[in-house]
Amino acid sequence: MSLKQQTILITGGLGQIGHFLYSILKNSYQICILDNESEAKYNPPDDAFFLKGNILDDEIFAKLPAIDYIIHCAAQISINQSVNEPVFDAQNNILGTLKVLEFARKNNIKKFIYLSSAAVFGQPHFLPITEEHPRNPISPYGLSKYVGEKYVLLYSELFALNSIVLIPFNIYSPLLKEDDPYAGVLSKFISAVKQNLPPRIEGDGKQTRDFIHVKDLALAVKLALEKDTGENRVFNIGSGKAVSVEELAKLVIEISGKDLKPVYVEARIGDIKESYCSTEKVIRILDFKPTIQFEDGLKELYNHIEI
């Protein structure tokens, strides 16, 4: 069967990441999107089958066409909301994942890809963070994503579901919002500098993050979908490079060409100090290398953000 005859279900396919997955996969596969539009960033594309619905709704799955693969992106992704509404978070991220897994189990899905989150790790015990790093989530969101991971891997054990868990680190995209839990700091600094205001660094600015462009994440998902990874099921997706918040502020100022200096304000309570991932496994097994240098992606974002 040619790939184009095979159908991929992207749950949450109208979101920041789902849209780029649709874009990279649409020429090779039929795409089906299931999204309740609660946090949609894009309109349903004309050349995909779109079903508006909630993954928590059992009835919705009967309305889907025949599906070969699933990429499960639908989730509530706000750390703040998970703290304020932990039940809502658990319903979407734990029960929602379980419902999609049940659909996969009953429909002999060829591969199930789950997008986890670096939030599962909590405060790192060692760096770089490997796939084996202990999971000690410090938010209901981190915990719900972790339980999702465990369910996915258990379904592989119990029901021979061919699954892959990808752990994206800090994803940025052209539609990045300032309140984005992963990379909002990029938008905040860019907006400030564009308004001739200094970037505000919380704490000493030595805290690090591992930023990766959404197009590179989409590439990693495609590789995970198409490559035989054997018994290897869990992969970090990041650049493997630590960028400090201080360096980030300097880079944004440099891109702007303006004469600004960052200001330092009080640190956020519970902020993770250092975070970057080991990419050894994803390079070795999936042959994945990011194609967009951070400086180039940041320039693109700078030009894209309007104030």
Residues belonging to the active site? 141
Residue 67 or 253: the one with the smaller Cβ distance to ligand NAD is 67
Residue 29 or 141: the one with the smaller Cβ distance to ligand NAD is 141
Q: Minimum Å distance from CB 27 to ligand NAD?
A: 21
Structural contact between residues 70 and 108, judged by C-beta atoms closer than 8 angstroms = no
Phi, psi of 245 (to 5 degrees): -60, -35
Q: Which residue is nearest to ligand NAD (CB)?
A: 15
Burial class (CB in 10 A: 0-12, 13-18, 19+), 194: middle
Residues 6+ apart with CB under 8 A from 217: 17, 20, 166, 168, 171, 237
Residue 14 or 94: the one with the smaller Cβ distance to ligand NAD is 14
Would you put residue 12 in left (φ > 0), alpha (ψ -120 to 50) or beta? left
Please count the other Cβ atoms lying within 10 Å of the Cβ belonging to residue 191: 16
Among 74, 104, 277, 298, binds ligand NAD (CB under 6 A): 74
Query: Minimal CA–CA distance to 109: which of 45, 32, 37?
Result: 32
Distance separating alpha carbons of residues 188 and 178, to the nearest angstrom: 5
- Total number of residues binding ligand NAD (CB under 6 A)? 31
Residue 35 or 246: the one with the smaller Cβ distance to ligand NAD is 35
Confirm or reject binding of residue 16 to ligand NAD (CB under 6 A): yes
Among 12, 137, 238, 240, binds ligand NAD (CB under 6 A): 12
Residues 6+ apart with CB under 8 A from 228: none
Structural contact between residues 186 and 248, judged by C-beta atoms closer than 8 angstroms = yes
Q: Which range of residues in 34-42, 263-271, 285-293, 294-302 is near ligand NAD by CB under 6 A?
A: 34-42
Q: Which range of residues in 23-31, 53-61, 247-255, 277-285 is near ligand NAD by CB under 6 A?
A: 53-61
Phi, psi of 229 (to 5 degrees): -100, 10
Q: Which range of residues in 73-81, 102-110, 122-130, 196-204 is near ligand NAD by CB under 6 A?
A: 73-81
Confirm or reject binding of residue 54 to ligand NAD (CB under 6 A): yes
Confirm or reject binding of residue 280 to ligand NAD (CB under 6 A): no
Distance separating alpha carbons of residues 169 and 239, to the nearest angstrom: 8
Query: Minimal CA–CA distance to 123: which of 267, 250, 271?
Result: 271
- What count of residues does the chain have? 307
Give, as ranges, the residues between 89 and 118 that touch ligand NAD (CB under 6 A).
Answer: 92, 96, 115, 117
Confirm or reject binding of residue 15 to ligand NAD (CB under 6 A): yes
Residue 150 or 264: the one with the smaller Cβ distance to ligand NAD is 150
Please count the other Cβ atoms lying within 10 Å of the Cβ belonging to residue 57: 13
Token pair 């020429």 in the structure block, residue: 27
Q: Which range of residues in 35-43, 155-163, 250-258, 288-296 is near ligand NAD by CB under 6 A?
A: 35-43
Confirm or reject binding of residue 272 to ligand NAD (CB under 6 A): no
Residue numbers of the site for ligand NAD (CB under 6 A)?
12, 14-18, 35-41, 54-56, 73-77, 92, 96, 115, 117, 145, 168, 170-171, 182-183
